[in-house]
Amino acid sequence: MDEHRSEVLGFLRAMVGSDEAEDCFQETFLSALRAYPRAEAGNVRAWLFTIARRKAIDHHRADARRPTPAGEPEAVADGLISSGGRDLDGEVWAHVAGLPNKQRAAIALRFVADLRYREIGSALDCSEAAARRSVHDGLRNLRGAVVQPTGRGPR
């Protein structure tokens, strides 16, 4: 499981922001360890992300119950290192945070955790085709959002 820790932490930062990601990370691995001897883990990686996704959802639910809404979008890209795009990063990630939850998760699983569509499907509890669609829809929404009149989009 150790070998997946960077990807899991990256995924969680993309889902709940970097301040909250560590709690979710600990919960994810502790749950996995509790279940491990009994869990029928065909694909350990996909299974870990299934747990991580659930922890992120639990976190959002707990967050929604709290009286003051926790700070969100801008913090999302903090602690994530770009491996390709340059100054676009912060802006794109702020928009990722605004996507419907399933698309946000699909995008994070695809690009941050580098999962295959089949694994994304099992983490999101849907078919491979549906996973592919979620990534696709997410990308389309982002393309639209990034050029919205924030004055910061590319010409």
Partner 1 sequence: MRNGPSDSDLEGALRVRVDDEAAERAAERTAARALDEGLADVAYATVDSPIGRLLVASTERGLVRVSFHTEQHEDVLNELVVRISPRVLEAPARLDEVRRELEEYFDGRRKRFELALDWQLSRGFRAEVLRKLYENVPYGETASYAEMAADAGRPRAYRAAGSAMGSNPMPVVVPCHRVLATGGGLGGYGGGLDMKRFLLRLEGVLAE
Q: Which residues bind partner 1 (CB under 8 A)?
A: 2, 5-10, 13-14, 22, 25-26, 29-30, 33-34, 36-37, 77, 79-86, 88-89, 92-93, 96, 107, 110-112, 139, 142-144, 146-147, 153-155
CA dihedral of 138, 15, 55, 135, whole degrees rounded to 10: 20
Please identify, using beta-carbon distances, which residue of 126 and 146 lies nearer to partner 1: 146
What span, in angstroms and rounded, lies between the C-alpha atoms of 14 and 4?
16
Q: Smallest Cα–Cα separation from 139: which of 99, 82, 81, 112?
A: 99
Element (H, E) at 59: helix 44-65
Least separation, in Å, of the C-beta of 125 and partner 1?
Answer: 22
The tokens for 40 are: 């029928």
Nearer to partner 1, 47 or 69 (CB): 47
State which residue, 126 or 139, has the beta carbon closest to partner 1.
139
